């Protein structure tokens, strides 16, 4: 699996990609109506009022909440994931999904052809129970360029009424409370309210792509009354189909910030334009703080690539930190204590221009305060990044070691 993953990463560099090529000029503040109108319209994710969002930290909060929602399903379940391993927690998901399918619930699932390559007999069990399962771009495709385009989305919608989004994969690495190096640090979110329909639409985009079926009806898109007070909009990025929206979202959030930008993301490898944008924000007085994965990282090539950006960022005043103790896998951005983006998108070339991603954007001060508190709690578990130029000669040995080591 590791070799296939590296192959996909390598081929990503051979694909024509289209990103924002230079920083945006400063735009209306994230607090303004102009910003919400532009962000919602440009991303195709109008901010809808009346939502409730519950933050779930680490696997021992995330998995029980997802499994409970699945077990309570009455009509439909739609589920899209990148990682689905052949291990104990995945077994629990298989059992829960299979039981609901046998009970007459319509269960539709998309699993990535690389991220779920080791699921093995679990998929046979799901299909035998009546789950409609699609493998997203299997590795045996005749079109070799497809190997680089993956679905990295993490979406679960139950009865069209309860949604989940965030960074969690279905695997034992996420279990626990991030108290040891074997328990990854993660954030995931449970959502109720009108924005759940936008999460469903994100799932539908890839369901139609793989299964050629339009999903409609009240089981998938019921009327959704207000469940809370949060304004939110969900968008999905699909570069293979020309939707380069993660890149645009990051640029707009940076250009709309006036006081602070908090970024928590494991794979922090901004391209030249985003590096320039973050530097420009810091130079105009915005406090920019970034927490990324430290020595506990599953792809050290990413860490090496990240370090090439550090001298310029730190010279401009950007504060860079490395998380300690375990692998940081959460994806979080907070601008000016008001705009928040969470979901599957990393801050690296694959999420910017290659992977299919899905994020939830939020305009809400109480929610932003909660995410800011979480950021600072993780900051307390981090250390300042030390700028050190990395020689390109370091790459081959680490690349080969990770590519062929089945334990990594």
Active site residues per annotation: 152, 154, 159, 329, 331, 336
Tally of CA atoms within 13 A in the half-sphere of 249 that contains its CB: 33
Give residues with Cβ within 8 angstroms of 247, minimum separation 6: 19, 20, 274, 352, 353
Name the 3-class secondary structure at 243: strand
- Which tokens go with 401? 């070691």
* Triad 111, 2, 128: Cα angle to 5°: 30
Please give the Cα distance from 114 to 100 (Å, whole number).
26
Helix (H, G, I), strand (E, B) or coil at 400: helix
What is d(CA 355, CA 357) in angstroms, rounded to the nearest whole number?
Answer: 6
**Do 288 and 349 touch, CB atoms closer than 8 A?**
no
Strand ranges for 311-356 from DSSP E: 319-323, 332-335, 339-343
């Amino acid at each position: 699996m590791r070799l296939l993953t590296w192959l996909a990463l390598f081929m990503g560099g051979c694909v024509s990609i289209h990103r924002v090529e230079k920083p945006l000029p400063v735009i209306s503040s994230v607090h303004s109506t102009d910003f919400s109108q532009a962000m919602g319209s440009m991303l195709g994710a109008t901010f809808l009022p009346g939502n409730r969002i519950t933050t779930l930290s680490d696997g021992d909060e995330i998995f029980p909440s997802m499994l409970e929602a699945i077990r309570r399903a009455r009509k439909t379940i739609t589920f899209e994931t990148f990682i689905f391993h052949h291990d104990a927690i995945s077994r629990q998901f298989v059992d829960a999904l299979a039981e609901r399918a046998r009970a007459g619930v319509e269960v539709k699932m998309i699993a990535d052809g690389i991220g779920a390559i080791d699921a093995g007999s679990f998929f046979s069990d799901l299909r035998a129970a009546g789950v409609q399962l699609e493998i997203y771009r299997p590795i045996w495709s005749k079109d070799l360029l497809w190997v680089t385009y993956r679905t990295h989305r993490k979406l679960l919608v139950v009865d069209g009424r309860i949604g989940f989004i965030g960074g969690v994969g279905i695997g034992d690495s996420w279990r626990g409370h991030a108290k040891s190096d074997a328990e990854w640090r993660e954030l995931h979110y449970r959502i109720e309210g009108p924005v759940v329909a936008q999460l469903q639409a994100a799932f539908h985009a890839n369901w139609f792509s793989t299964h050629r079926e339009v999903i409609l009806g009240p089981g998938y898109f019921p009327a959704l009354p207000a469940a809370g007070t949060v304004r939110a909009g969900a968008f999905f990025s699909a570069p293979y189909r020309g939707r380069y929206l993660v890149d645009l979202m990051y640029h707009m959030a940076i250009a709309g910030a006036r006081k602070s930008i908090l970024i928590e993301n494991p794979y922090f490898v901004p391209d030249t334009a985003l590096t320039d944008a973050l530097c420009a924000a810091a130079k105009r007085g915005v406090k920019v703080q970034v927490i990324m994965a430290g020595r506990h990282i599953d792809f050290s090539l990413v860490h090496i690539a990240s370090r090439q950006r550090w001298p310029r960022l730190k010279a401009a005043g950007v504060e860079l930190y490395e998380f300690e103790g375990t692998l940081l896998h959460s994806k979080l951005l907070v601008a000016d204590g008001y705009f928040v983006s969470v979901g599957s998108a990393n801050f690296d070339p694959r999420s910017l221009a290659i992977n299919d991603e899905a994020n939830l954007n939020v305009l809400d001060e109480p929610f932003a305060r909660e995410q800011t508190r979480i950021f600072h709690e993780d900051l307390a578990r981090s250390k300042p990044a030390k700028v050190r130029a990395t020689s390109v000669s370091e790459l081959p040995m680490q690349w080969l070691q990770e590519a062929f080591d089945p334990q990594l």
